[in-house]
Amino acid sequence: MNDFLLILRVRARMFFASIRSLSAIRAVSFVFVIACFVLGAYYIFIRVFGYLMSVEVIGPGLLDRLIEMALFVFFIMLLFSNVITSFSTFYNSRELDFLFSLPVPPTSIYLAKLFENCLYASWATLTIAFPLIIAYGVRIGAPILYYPLSIASIVIYLFIPAAVASMLIAILLRIFPKLGAREVIMISIAFILGLTYLYIKINNPGLLKIFETENEQTLLLFAAQLTTVGGVYVPSTWLSNILRGFSDGSADWTFSFLLLSFVSLSTVLISFLIAKACYVRSWLSTGEHASKRSRRKSLLFHPQRQVARTILFKDLLVFVREPTQWVQLSIFLILLAVYVFSLRKTPIYFVFPLWRTIVAFANFAYISFVLATLGVRFMFPTMSLERAGIWFIGSAPISFKKVLLVKYFFNLVTAVVIIEVLLLSANLFIRVGRGLYFLLPIIGLFVAASLVSINLGLGSRFPHFHEDNPSRIAAGSGGIITALISIAYVGISIVILATPAYNYLSHTFMRMPVNYLLVYSGFAFFVLFNIFTIIVPLRIGIKSLERRDY
């Protein structure tokens, strides 16, 4: 235990040393961006929760169901994140060679890595979860005790998926030591998806069901069932019971809190025992089989004479050789495909053209936010992944401007394909009007170009050349700043487009006259705003790279 605490103290000192090394401007910017994001999320949650609380009969039940579903989705995404980062943290980290050479018990190394992996995999969830539980407490008028207990419950909750993911990876590598990173990650994710499907399909088929209410009796029955959705065996249900227990003033939350704490502690203890039995052996076998693996020439390897093609093919090779990159991208794309195809089965309150138009705008906003998330995870680390080779680029007869522009256009093509396919498919399923069907993809081109520029430009401004794990690069201070700026960009764009959208809806469905000045001004301001967000971040990134001492 003393060795474990020593490793944590060293980690804490490194963290605070990195904070002290930040310039005052960067530190203030970091705090300001995070504060704006958290306050913005809190404002949105407080408005949504307030509206639901004002709806008679089904409002409070809808709010409780929304909280439970959000926590359930958080749990599944935390499992995915922890599985993807676990292999790199526990088996593929460069500092493990040093740690295992020290007179330190392997279990202490494992526990330190468990805390580290939990932090890296959960930071994004925490930035959403904290404003959510605080806004919920404010709306239900919870007592002061609610806030520290709910935050403590969230922290306890995070260790369950982290421990489960580490156990799953360790057992697979112990049973199948010849498996590579991509096979282990894919098997683990397939296992989690299978369990999730079985839970939703067999144990709790009503969790994600959309009800149709045709009369008052059906509405009352629906309201009575709202507070009973969710299975009793899932940690997200226990956490939602803790939060909901303060709304009715009962003490039922105490049992859920004790149950959540017991299961979290038990899961960590079981993972500790499994690590004690097989962590060292699985780590050694992973290194042995990695060293014995044959070096085959990649199908993508072709000597190129042109500099741009060389950079492009090198980035493709780096992406293909890093399983955590393309596996996580595959998960994102699968989930997006499921979302888009689910629009075909939405309850057809959307037969009305007004609803179809509103859903089309909401879908555009959602896809833009998803692209912002993808950008931080996959585009922001692009320059940092050059690692020690950055000095070679700096000394080569090629400018950083050309290097960054090649990366920009490659990522731009990828982003445009993703956002256009999603928008066109979703609009086709929603059956929007012809004007919106062609207008939203055009707006999507600007969004894709700006988000790629923000992520590549700020990724060059805040690089981490000493880190080889893309997830950790994205979870650093620069990645957090970029994520929040990307989300802020999407929010500002939606606000700018709100005026033309309102005029379109008013004219089409309410026969009100169009204010062409506001419409044209809104689109013009949107274009100027995007010109700024495309040019400025790239220039910041290029200047930052050129000023570095190589």
Residue 433's contacts (CB-CB under 8 Å, 6 or more residues apart) are: 353, 356, 357, 508
> What DSSP letter does each residue of 69-81 carry, written as one string?
HHHHHHHHHHHHH
Tokens for 342, please give them: 């689910």
76-120 residue pLDDT tens: 778 877 877 777 788 777 778 888 888 888 888 888 888 888 887
Question: Quick one: which of 361, 364, 359 has its CA closest to 343?
Answer: 359
Q: What is the pLDDT of residue 294?
A: 46
Residue 490's contacts (CB-CB under 8 Å, 6 or more residues apart) are: 365, 368, 369, 372, 447, 451
Question: Quick one: which of 136, 115, 119 has its CA closest to 71?
Answer: 136
DSSP-assigned letter for residue 514: P
> What DSSP letter does each residue of 254-310 carry, written as one string?
HHHHHHHHHHHHHHHHHHHHHHHHHHHHHHHHHHHHHHHS--PPPTT----SSHHHH
Question: Quick one: which of 522, 507, 518, 523 has its CA closest to 354?
Answer: 507
- 279 close to 106: Cβ distance less than 8 angstroms: yes
142-156 residue pLDDT tens: 888 888 888 888 889
Using the CB atoms, write b or e for 175-198: b if 16+ within 10 Å. eeeebebbebbbbbbeebeeebee
Q: Give the domain ranges of the chain.
A: 23-290, 308-550
Q: What is the pLDDT of residue 213?
A: 47
Distance between CA atoms of residues 178 and 292, nearest Å: 10
156-210 residue pLDDT tens: 988 998 898 888 888 887 777 776 666 666 776 677 667 666 666 665 544 444 4
DSSP-assigned letter for residue 123: H
Place of tokens 């203030």: 28
Q: What is the pLDDT of residue 218?
A: 53
Tokens for 25, please give them: 């401007």
> What are the backbone dihedrals phi and psi of residue 169, each rounded to the nearest 5 degrees, phi first?
-65, -45
Question: Quick one: which of 477, 467, 481 has its CA closest to 372?
Answer: 481
Distance of CA 245 to the CA centre of its chain: 29
- Residue 208: Cβ within 10 Å count: 12
- 268 close to 183: Cβ distance less than 8 angstroms: no
Using the CB atoms, write b or e for 126-146: b if 16+ within 10 Å. ebebbbbbbbbbbbbebeeeb
Q: What is the pLDDT of residue 407?
A: 87
pTM of the model: 0.64
User: Collapsing DSSP states into helix, strand and coil, what is residue 98?
Assistant: helix
344-358 residue pLDDT tens: 655 544 456 666 777
Residue 522's contacts (CB-CB under 8 Å, 6 or more residues apart) are: 496, 497, 499, 500
Residue 211's contacts (CB-CB under 8 Å, 6 or more residues apart) are: 222
* Residue pLDDT tens, the chain, 550 long: 677 777 777 777 776 676 666 666 666 766 776 777 778 778 878 887 887 777 665 667 777 777 887 888 788 778 877 877 777 788 777 778 888 888 888 888 888 888 888 887 787 777 788 888 888 888 888 888 888 888 888 889 889 988 988 888 888 877 777 766 666 667 766 776 676 666 666 655 444 444 444 454 554 555 555 544 456 777 888 888 888 776 666 667 788 888 889 999 999 999 888 888 888 887 777 765 555 544 555 544 555 556 667 777 777 776 666 656 666 666 666 666 666 666 665 554 445 666 677 777 877 888 888 888 788 878 888 888 776 666 666 666 677 788 888 888 888 988 898 888 888 887 777 777 777 778 888 999 999 999 999 999 998 888 887 776 777 777 677 887 888 888 889 888 988 888 887 777 776 666 777 777 878 888 899 999 999 999 999 999 888 888 876 5
Q: What is the pLDDT of residue 62?
A: 73
- 538 close to 457: Cβ distance less than 8 angstroms: yes
Distance of CA 485 to the CA centre of its chain: 15
- Give whole-number Cα distances, 190 to 125, 254, 334, 335, 373, in Å: 22, 35, 12, 13, 23
- 375 close to 415: Cβ distance less than 8 angstroms: yes
- 301 close to 196: Cβ distance less than 8 angstroms: no
Q: What is the pLDDT of residue 227?
A: 46
Place of tokens 């629906």: 222
CA atoms within 13 A on the CB side of 101: 5
Q: What is the pLDDT of residue 373?
A: 79
Distance between CA atoms of residues 481 and 493, nearest Å: 18
308: burial class by Cβ within 10 Å (0-12, 13-18, 19+)?
Answer: middle
